[in-house]
Amino acid sequence: MCGIAGIINFKTNSLDTTPIKKMTESIAHRGPDDDGFFLDDHAAFGFRRLSIIDLKLGHQPMQADHGRYTIVYNGEIYNFQEIRRQLLSYGCPLTTKSDTEVILHAFIYWGIECVKKFNGMFAFAIYDKKIKKVFFARDRLGIKPLYYSILGDTLIFGSEVKVILKHPEFSKTANLEAISSYLTFRYPQGNSPVFNNISRLSPGHTMVFSSSGVDISKYWEIPFFDKKEDLGEQYYLDKTEELLTNAVERRMISDVPLGALLSGGLDSSLIVAIMNKHSSDRIKSYSIGFDTEGYDESYYASMVADYCGVEHKSLVLDQNDYMDQLKKTIIQKDAPLSIPHEVALLNVCSELKKHTTVVISGEGADELFGGYGRVQRSPMDYKKISFVKQNFPLVLHKPLLKMMGAGNSVNDWLSVNNQMEHFFSVYNWIPFEEKWKIFSDNTMDIIKSDKSNIEFWQKDFERVSAGNTYDQILYMFEKNHLACLLDRLDAMSMAASVEARVPFVDHELVEFASSIPIKYKLKWKSPLHQAKSIFTNSFDASENLDHSKYILRKLGAKYLPAEIIARKKKGFPVPLDSWINNGMINHAKEILLDHKTNDRGLFRHSQLEKLLNNKQNLNYDFWGKKIWMLMNVELWFREFID
């Protein structure tokens, strides 16, 4: 696991390579064990190494074919040994045991199509000096990041945004469309982070840069099946266990100690149980919670650790420490934090770094197998809306939908016209209309009422429009929600010089899970429970009338205590509403209502006052989340734009 950086220009014979050192030093946390540089008239590559595999011979930048090809690479290829044996049989001159050399020679032998052979997480750049092109690739699900910016004829790239910010010709301005996307979806959707003129290479894509410019191609995407053949519960259970076990075993290959993030929830517990079964050494696991009742899962994490016989350590973070670290964490990430627990995640990664360098985590299970039941069950509500509108006179719409679970939200239900609009009504942190009232007129002119953000989602909904409505929503989580979680895991783990691996995001498991019928993911407890759902909304039905992640719970019965299998999803919550009532509101007002924020003109001062002074009675700390996000945006502006 490493950090990479680069500067490329094929229209000059005297490339200014001076910035590459500072660009590379800015991500020293990603690779404290080693550094390396490559410089010529057209390209400058920088590299920071976190030694995981082949500790002695994995130095980068690495070259081949008498200096024609040069690679910088961040990630792990879990099947590199198989590919290495294949390359050796073809006579390729491999001299190390590193996956870097395998990628380079696979590229030389198969070209950019080599990415289809890799199972792993990766972002790399390969410079072909002879034909003056640089080839880039990013793994299928986007586990490893790759950012780039084009400044005239020069392309600069890196593992983190801060690499690009260190280039003297880059000008920092805010991308307000990305910030608007962040405030509603907690993450800038698509390829645009919160700075203008910086892009992310999309997951499952390659890119070629030459004197002709940039050419981007897709080599993989999450499969979506308009129709699915039902092969029976036992088949899906057995195949899921086989693929998940293979994925975990692959990610246990390491020349340094391994650990695991263990929350006590189903996903991380299942990972730890499988790790323990296939490890000759005692696994170390780690968790972190908050000193507020209901926000510390250490009891369940310890239960799993004792049951599996692993060595566990639980940490606790209090309000003062959290607030002290909030700004520092924003600076580390170069962006507003997407999820409140990122501060805690950085803390636990910093602690486990004292004992290990590689940690395995459970990201991806909720997206693939139906763990966000309150939203992923929402097509049930949309079907009711459509049925009532299409089959009954207008005068009956309200009373019928109220009877079917709409309650006081009946007007919101009636306002939606399609599946995407209904999805927006349940999948948001700050709803569009509420956010638009907070934005100033100037900001609204720039974001054009979120036109580009809505069109981004619309393309995905159009792609899957012929499929089951439940599968459509799970696809949105797999493609767009998961990107946020993977981004925050990479940023916070690498900030502590820790490599995080994610077995549930193994592309073979993802491809298979996409073929599983929805009834094996979200399963009604009985026909009677399904009948009751007619008069219940999706939020109340989820985990009360159905089983979320049904197939994983069935699998968990082989590995885990019954109490863990039956647990409702918790989701690593942060007690923001409690903290706001305990003084955080004053800190928020100091930031959001002072002259700096007002003079910036991004928000309406009166609407900020209204939000801060009128507590919203929302579940899951959503009032606190809204205030927390707005604080993040303002703190980011002050650090990076002012």
At residue 294, the 3 state secondary structure works out as: coil
Note whether 444 and 476 are within 8 A (CB).
no
Distance between CA atoms of residues 542 and 569, nearest Å: 10
The CA-atom distances, in angstroms, between 243 and each of 28, 258, 477, 510 are 35, 20, 21, 10
With b for 16 or more beta-carbon neighbours within 10 A and e for fewer, the 291-329 pattern comes to: ebeebbbbebbbbbbebbebebbbbbbebeebeebbbeb
Query: In what helix (H) or strand (E) does residue 149 lie, and over which residues does it extend?
Result: strand 147-151
Task: Give the list of residues 6+ apart from residue 624 with CB closer than 8 angstroms, or none.
Answer: 576, 577, 579, 580, 584
Write a three-state SS string for 515-526: CCCHHHCCEECC
Q: Based on DSSP, count helices (H) and strands (E) in the chain, helices before strands.
A: 31, 19
Alpha carbon separation from 257 to 112, 162, 272 (Å, rounded) = 33, 29, 15
d(CA 69, CA 419): 49
Q: Which residue has the tokens 């099947």?
A: 79
Classify each residue of 441-470 as buried b or exposed e, where b means 16 or more C-beta atoms within 10 Å of its C-beta: eebbeebeebeebeebbeebbeebeebbbb
Residue 126, helix vs strand vs coil: strand
Alpha helices in 357-481 (DSSP H): 365-369, 373-376, 379-391, 394-401, 410-415, 419-426, 432-438, 441-447, 451-463, 469-476
- The reply to whether 2 belongs to the active site is yes
Residues in Cβ contact with 521 at an 8 Å cutoff, skipping those fewer than 6 apart? 369, 370, 474, 548, 549, 550, 551
Residue 96: CB partners within 8 Å, gap ≥ 6?
54, 57, 58
Euclidean distance between CA atoms 353 and 128, whole angstroms: 37
User: Cα separation of 543 and 618, whole Å?
Assistant: 19
The residue count for the chain: 642
Give start and end residues of each alpha helix (H) in 64-139.
80-89, 99-110
Asked whether the beta carbons of 291 and 582 are under 8 A apart, the reply is no
Tokens read off for 150? 């084009």
Active-site hit among 2, 114, 308, 349: 2
Using CA atoms, how far apart are residues 401 and 386, in angstroms rounded to an integer? 10
| Tokens encoding 5 | 């950086």
Cβ–Cβ < 8 Å for 629, 336: yes
How many other C-beta atoms are found inside a 10 Å radius of the C-beta of residue 615?
13
Q: Which tokens hold the place of 220?
A: 């993989």
Cα pseudo-dihedral 378, 382, 387, 393, rounded to 10: 130
- Write out the H or E segment, with its range, that includes residue 214: strand 213-218
**Catalytic residue IDs:** 2
